[in-house]
């Protein structure tokens, strides 16, 4: 039997620190619970001052065995985040083109 749990965060109810969420994920993973981290609309961090640096630092310090999938709908913004040589996420992950309309993946 396969049991799948989903951990979601409703930002309208309570604002949480991203670093605290990452810490929670680390704690869950060290409890031998498999995790897949999916970040949707990731390109939105481009419009928030210092967000890319915060995300890069937090994700880089996450256990390397935790897979991370980054989804986006605005290709040009995500390309700026991952493809520019001066970008904080340059060469971070692997770009995948999937056959889902409007989506591109970086893992």
Is pLDDT above 60 for 6? no
Best-predicted range by mean pLDDT (14-18, 28-32, 73-77, 99-103) = 28-32
39 pLDDT band (50/70/90 cuts)? confident
DSSP 67-84: -EEEEES-HHHHHHHHHS
71: β partners: 105
Specify the higher pLDDT residue, 63 or 8: 63
Q: Which helix (H) or strand (E) holds 54?
A: helix 51-61
Residue 91 CB contacts under 8 Å (≥ 6 apart), including other chains:
82
Is pLDDT above 70 for 98? no
The pTM of the full predicted model, rounded to 2 decimals, is 0.68
Q: List the chain domain ranges.
A: 39-106
């Amino acid at each position: 039997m396969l049991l799948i749990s989903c951990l979601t965060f409703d930002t309208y109810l309570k604002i949480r620190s991203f670093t605290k969420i990452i810490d929670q994920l680390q704690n869950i993973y060290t409890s031998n619970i498999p995790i897949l981290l999916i970040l949707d609309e990731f390109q939105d961090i481009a419009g928030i001052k210092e967000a890319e640096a915060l995300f890069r630092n937090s994700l880089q310090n996450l256990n390397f065995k935790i897979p991370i999938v980054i989804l986006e709908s605005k290709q040009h913004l995500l390309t700026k985040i991952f493809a520019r040589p001066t970008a904080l996420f340059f060469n971070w992950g692997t770009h995948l083109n999937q056959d889902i309309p409007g989506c591109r993946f970086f893992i």
